[in-house]
Amino acid sequence: MTATVTDHVVADRLRTWATGSLPLVAAVELLIRAFDGRFARHDQPWIRIEANGYAWLDDHALAGGLGLLSGGERRVLTIVAALADTSGNRRIDLADAITGIDRTHLDLVLAALAHAAGAHEPGLRVGHDAAGTAHLLQHGLVHPWPDLPYGGAFLPTVPNDARSATPQRP
């Protein structure tokens, strides 16, 4: 396989691995979409590929490998690592993490945060009119994933029926 094909497959398997956890999906999607996807490539030290071909994001390796990156890269990947931390033990300095992110990546970070919070799909909520009568009201997305001007590094994904079985998280 060529590196490009491998990276597409790895991106799809990362998405499959993250399925079922909104913060993990947000982390993986942000990793894949940011910086032309170069930090989601198969040769990154935080991308783990098992012998059976499953891929997963090692948030500890990611958090520990940010020292040699530019400020913007470090900030975005710090947010990715925090979203991918399933233990809930990783704390970040949010003010530092968002200061200095360019608008393109800030748009992606906002979409990732909305996704992680469960506000990535339209939904219903209960509202009341002036008389106090309850009504179901539809609300839209808080902040959708942006259409990337270059089409995204690994977009579109492989259709769901072409994916392999859902891997187990390590």
Tell me which DSSP letter residue 123 carries: E
- For 67-100, letters b (16+ CB in 10 Å) and e give eeeeebbbbbbbbbbbbbbeeeeeebeeeebbee
pLDDT score at 122: 67
Q: Are 141 and 111 in contact (CB under 8 A)?
A: no
| Domain locations in the chain as residue ranges | 3-162
Q: Identify the band that residue 136 occupies on the pLDDT scale cut at 50, 70 and 90.
A: confident
pLDDT above 70 coverage of the chain, percent: 82
Where helices occur in 19-162 by DSSP H, the ranges are 22-33, 59-64, 71-84, 94-98, 103-116
Summarize the confidence of residues 29-52 as an average pLDDT. 94
Summarize the confidence of residues 128-148 as an average pLDDT. 83
Q: Are 47 and 14 in contact (CB under 8 A)?
A: yes
**The length of the chain, given as a count of residues:** 170
Residue range 77-98, pLDDT digits in tens: 999 999 999 888 888 999 999 9
pLDDT score at 8: 87
Q: Which residue type does 139 have?
A: H
Distance of alpha carbon 160 from its chain centroid, rounded?
A: 18
pLDDT score at 159: 37
Summarize the confidence of residues 42-68 as an average pLDDT. 94
Residue range 116-134, pLDDT digits in tens: 998 877 677 788 888 989 8
Summarize the confidence of residues 23-32 as an average pLDDT. 97
**Quick check: 158 pLDDT over 70?**
no
